[in-house]
Amino acid sequence: MESAKSDSLDMTAAIIPLPAYHHNAKNWFLQVESIFSMLRITSQRARFANVMQKLPSDMMDEIFDVLSDLREHEPYDHLKEAILKRTGRSEEDMIEEILRNVTRGDKTPSQLLRYMRNQLGKHNVSEKVLRGLWLEHLPKSVAQIIAPMTRATPLDDLAESADLVFAQFDHSVNAVRAPRHSEARTLRA
């Protein structure tokens, strides 16, 4: 009797509204699991049913083989693992992407460091590697000035120092322009 009771609870929990699936699966699962936690949905079957109702057809095609060989005891964990494995990026891929695609733009050095950490997500990269990547993306003038501090200073403190140095430079482009007529007359007089 108790099994039937837990099954009916699972079915009630299976109809909760979840955000639409988006292709950053890791972040989507973080959102979904916070909803599960808030609503105290711990059943593997209920979580599985909720996720299944939100998966787009292209994702269903991607995980079809997993669905046909689904574990009975932990269907949600098995499904989540398959989705993350097939759509997620490896740590090496993430590091490579940071190397390739990070641009400083108008970010201060500390903003750049936070951005790079956000790009890495929960993947652990040694501080030495992150420090090297970050330094490579700083303006050369800033990197040269903070170079003596780079080994002994904690990275967050180094970023704050780099911000101070960065603020001292005028980073705008100073275009040369021809003087206006009124300026030219004043110069001749």
- Domain identity same for 8 and 77: yes
pLDDT tens for 72-108 read: 789 999 999 999 888 876 666 767 776 667 778 889 9
How many Å apart are CA 77 and CA 66, to the nearest integer?
12
Please report whether residue 113 resides in a domain.
yes
- Domain identity same for 11 and 83: yes
Listed in sequence order, the residues at least 6 apart from 40 whose beta carbon sits closer than 8 Å to its beta carbon are: none
Q: Output the pLDDT for position 133.
A: 86
Contact 12, 49 (CB under 8 A): no
pLDDT, mean of residues 124-140:
87
Where is average pLDDT lowest: 28-32, 97-101, 124-128? 97-101
Report the 10 Å Cβ neighbour count for 125. 16
Question: Looking at the predicted structure, is the pLDDT value of residue 147 above 50?
Answer: yes
Please report whether residue 110 resides in a domain.
yes
pLDDT, mean of residues 32-43:
94
CA dist 45 → 33, 53, 100, 106 (Å): 14, 12, 41, 47
- Domain identity same for 149 and 161: yes
Question: Looking at the predicted structure, is the pLDDT value of residue 145 above 80?
Answer: yes
Single residue among 87, 122, 146 that ends a domain in this structure? 87
Question: Looking at the predicted structure, is the pLDDT value of residue 65 above 60?
Answer: yes
Please report whether residue 150 resides in a domain.
yes
Which residue's entry shows tokens 């079809």?
64
pLDDT tens for 152-189 read: 899 999 999 999 999 998 654 333 444 455 544 444 55
Where is average pLDDT lowest: 4-18, 33-47, 70-84, 91-105? 4-18
Q: Output the pLDDT for position 77.
A: 92
Query: In which band, very low, low, confident or very high, does the pLDDT at 142 lie, cut at 50, 70 and 90?
Result: very high
Number of domains making up the chain? 2
**φ and ψ at residue 169, rounded to 5 degrees:** -95, 145
Please report whether residue 183 resides in a domain.
no
- Domain identity same for 75 and 114: no
Q: Output the pLDDT for position 3.
A: 45
- Domain identity same for 33 and 14: yes
Listed in sequence order, the residues at least 6 apart from 55 whose beta carbon sits closer than 8 Å to its beta carbon are: 21, 63, 83
> If you average pLDDT over each of 22-26, 58-62, 174-178, which comes out highest?
58-62
- Domain identity same for 98 and 163: yes
> Which residue segment(s) compose the domain that 29 sits in?
2-87
Q: Output the pLDDT for position 95.
A: 72
- Domain identity same for 7 and 80: yes
Please report whether residue 20 resides in a domain.
yes
